[in-house]
Structure 1
Amino acid sequence: MKPIEILTTTGIGLPHANVDTDQLIPARFMKEPRSVGYGQFLLFDVRRDAHGAPSPDYPLNQPGADEAEVLVSRRNFGAGSSREAAVYALVDGGFRCVIAPSFGDIFASNAVNNGLLPAVVNEEDAERLLKALGEAAPVDVDLLEQRIRVGELEVAFTINPVWRTKLLNGWDDIDMTRQHEGDIDTFAATYAERFPWAQPYPGGTPLIGKG
């Protein structure tokens, strides 16, 4: 995954609460292989009118929205089913950070595992950010200092410390485990010495029944 320290990019507001995973990617698109690019399915139904044409007043259809890497929304973003494809749609659509007062638990975990920063702000600050953004506008998201800046507005955000470490370094769960490789090797050697009978038989033949 690509590390995140400071994002200096374009942000866009999505002033809706309870944007769930079924909205983020409708189920019928999940049969498609990831290689087709899930970004084209992001919020597919809600950003179109009854005839299937893009709604010109929908935030993600506004001028400049295609350049946005930061999305600001309201509470309970990513609620609903556990489909990881909802995160794929955001990532494939170019987003690297979503800012909201709260997230669905599984969505947030999936986000971090795919390099997408779920930044938690309070509801008042979310409204201030939405107002400051208006349409697509420049934004800075500083994961090192856990600060968000839009023009003269600056607000703090929170994130699980372990998730912060993973995103700063571009690590997945295996990479996190490898940081303790020395301790793991020490434990394995000590355990083998204390419990030699529990180790695999070198020749691959079980010891049961041997005299």
Structure 2
Amino acid sequence: MASRSVSLSRLPWRLASSRTFTTPPPVSVSVRHTPSHLGTNRFHVTQRRFFAGHTPDRIPVSVSSLYSRVDKEPILAEIQRRREERGLSIDAVAVELGFTNVYTAQILMLQAPLPERMKETLKGLLGLDEETLSEMGRIPHRRYDEDVLQEPTIYRVHEALMHYADSIKLLINEKCGDGIMSAIDFNFEIEKIKGSKGEDRVKLVMDGKFLPFTEQVKEQK
């Protein structure tokens, strides 16, 4: 049996309450290593000590309790009503917030959190009350209704992605390597442009960080 101590400057965030996350302070961890009868390695944390005088940083992050589109509907209807009353397009709101129009739409659809620094700006634009702005600032449950694929606008975009899927993968791999495009470190914008014959056309611009697959190297003894 072998024993060793490991110093960790930080542990992953843990849930301190139903609504608030905290970042724990530096800790000292004693780890006992015991090979199992199957030949695999087992590690057991036997001690944790917080350094004296350290106060954990408290980061007030609220998580929304609204799970489904039905739960969100009253707030969504109010946001839409206020926007229509003021004649504001999503592009106009996006300019004031400094975000892409798709990300702005995500905020207005409760699919992305409204940053604290933008609350007064949006309040001035739409005249929303504090309760609504507070809910918009919470971390949302990012969900979609599977029935949305029956909507022709969405179905055709989905159809295009599926039809071109193999070519999209081929080009991403050829240009960047073995990996994927992130949908987290990601920018998305929708533009209306004119075609060569003067017709209206839709332009979707997706810009995501390339994330390579990692090699899973087994530690050699």
TM-score relative to the length of structure 1: 0.23
TM-score between both structures, scaled by the size of structure 2: 0.22
Which structure ranks higher in relative contact order (CA pairs < 8 Å, sequence separation ≥ 6)? 1
Which of 1 and 2 has greater Rg?
Answer: 2
